[in-house]
Structure 1
Amino acid sequence: MKLSAELKALEARLGHEFSDPGLLVRAVTHSSMSSATRDDNQRLEFLGDRVLGLVMAQAVLDHDRAATEGQLAPRFNALVRKETCADVARQVDIGAVLKLGRSEMVSGGRRKQALLGDAMEAVIAAVYLDAGFDAAKAMILRLWGERVRRVEADARDAKTALQEWAQARGLQPPRYVEVARSGPDHAPQFTIEAQLDGQTPTQATAGSKRQAEQAVAKALLARIENG
């Protein structure tokens, strides 16, 4: 199989030339384009998630040899979560080559976080099947790069920190209320308000409820810490 110019360009961005180009084609084929003669990337996604997990588990261990399991777990989670995979997918522009059915194309599938994250995991599996674990590991560490080095700061869970702050003072846990949703279905924006006894309610907006909750917890923590 000969790859299109767009997929050859993706190969270059990934830093891996496929011996079996069909693996890359399958990795960027969404289920909306699957058929009896065309496999989608769902099985590859399942495998890629596990390969990524093993590489990142070793990476966080190697990065901080004195860290406890309790410190390592949130760092690991920050590196393998779907949002991070989607960010890396955007970095190498996987969205530009995704093979999507018409419905997904019309609804903005090339920009959807879930589709991008899934495709990135599928690409990892494709490299693993094409050239083995070492090749997949090298690509992952190259693409995740600085994220591994700064993960300690990024992995600080603001919601957990805010809840611990409240519990230490005998307060009820903070409450997170969705107060607004805007934007189209394929790119929604959620506004979440954090409510905590004795504090002025604080709001933040992001592309997912999880991100908005983390953002508003971080903002409220910063205000508390700054007096």
Structure 2
Amino acid sequence: MKRMLDDHRRAELTRLVRFLGVEMKELLLLHQALTHTSYANEARHSGSIHNERLEFLGDAVLDLIISENLFKRFPQLTEGELTKARANLVCEHTLAKKAAEADLGRYLLLGKGEALSGGRERVSILADTLESVIAAVYLDQGFAVTTDMVLRLLSKELALVQTGEYVKDFKTWLQEVAQRTPDNKISYEVVSQTGPDHDKVFKISVHLNDQELGIGIGKSKKEAEQQAAKLALMTLNVICE
């Protein structure tokens, strides 16, 4: 990365670093983290390097930070509960929300077409950019500083794990979400059951009032209902895939 940053870009990145609560010895790393492939392809003459490799590293660093924190902080949780909590903490929807809160779209370098088509607000781009930023901070400042930053960014979501919100069974969770609005009613309906008695497969739909939110499939009615409730929570943007 031989390219030097102009004063305007350096000031922008310094403002972002201040918001993230970290220091950066090498702002060019952060600049790369905020350079989308569409921009790098259009500005090849400038020597710009896109953020895809940083995204790869950031994904792994984020996974380790969250896994370690959940493991140490919640010794009462089972492996399945830890997996469910981590999946919601590091999923695309959550990361995009955190990236938007940090206003990463404002600092992102995009190609003209990508910018015009709404790339600064696109969920996938924002989530990938946050992972790239995490990698840049990790390479520049190390694991401890990066951990502190990530846990600050995801503090609200980690609080939901503390209250049990991310680890309760899906049917209970869906019922509680529905009951936030008076008169809401959750119902389940068997769509079909196939196969012999010893190996049946159930297909069950879940409805919020008259609206179908998802169809679950399972070897038992309970399993199918849980799957349907999970899909309903995803439809309602309560949890991530």
TM-score by length of 1: 0.72
Structure 2 residue runs of 5 or longer lacking an equivalent are: 175-187, 194-199, 217-229
Q: Deviations over 1:138-166 (max 9, x none)?
A: 1111111121121331355748988xx88
CA contact (8 A) 1:192 1:216 kept: no
1:216 to 1:82, Cα distance in 2 relative to 1, 3 A: closer
TM-score by length of 2: 0.68
Name 1:9's counterpart in structure 2: 15
Structure 1's consecutive aligned runs of 4 or more residues displaced over 4 angstroms after TM superposition are 159-162, 210-213
CA contact (8 A) 2:119 2:125 kept: yes
The alignment's C-alpha RMSD in Å is: 3.2
Identity %: 36
Which one of the candidate residues 93, 108, 114 is aligned to 2:124? Answer: 114
1:215 to 2:215 alignment: no
Name 2:224's counterpart in structure 1: none
CA contact (8 A) 2:213 2:231 kept: no
* Mean CA deviation greater in 61-70 or 92-101: 61-70
Which one of the candidate residues 150, 153, 166 is aligned to 1:154? Answer: 166
Which one of the candidate residues 130, 138, 148 is aligned to 1:128? Answer: 138
1:28 to 2:34 alignment: yes
1:214 to 1:159, Cα distance in 2 relative to 1, 3 A: farther
Distance 1:69 1:141 in 2: 21
Name 2:97's counterpart in structure 1: 87
CA contact (8 A) 2:10 2:27 kept: no
SS of structure 2 residue aligned to 1:153: coil
1:216 to 1:12, Cα distance in 2 relative to 1, 3 A: closer
State the Cα distance separating 1:105 from its structure 2 match: 0.5
Q: Which has the larger radius of gyration?
A: 2
Name 1:194's counterpart in structure 2: 214
Distance 1:137 1:63 in 2: 14
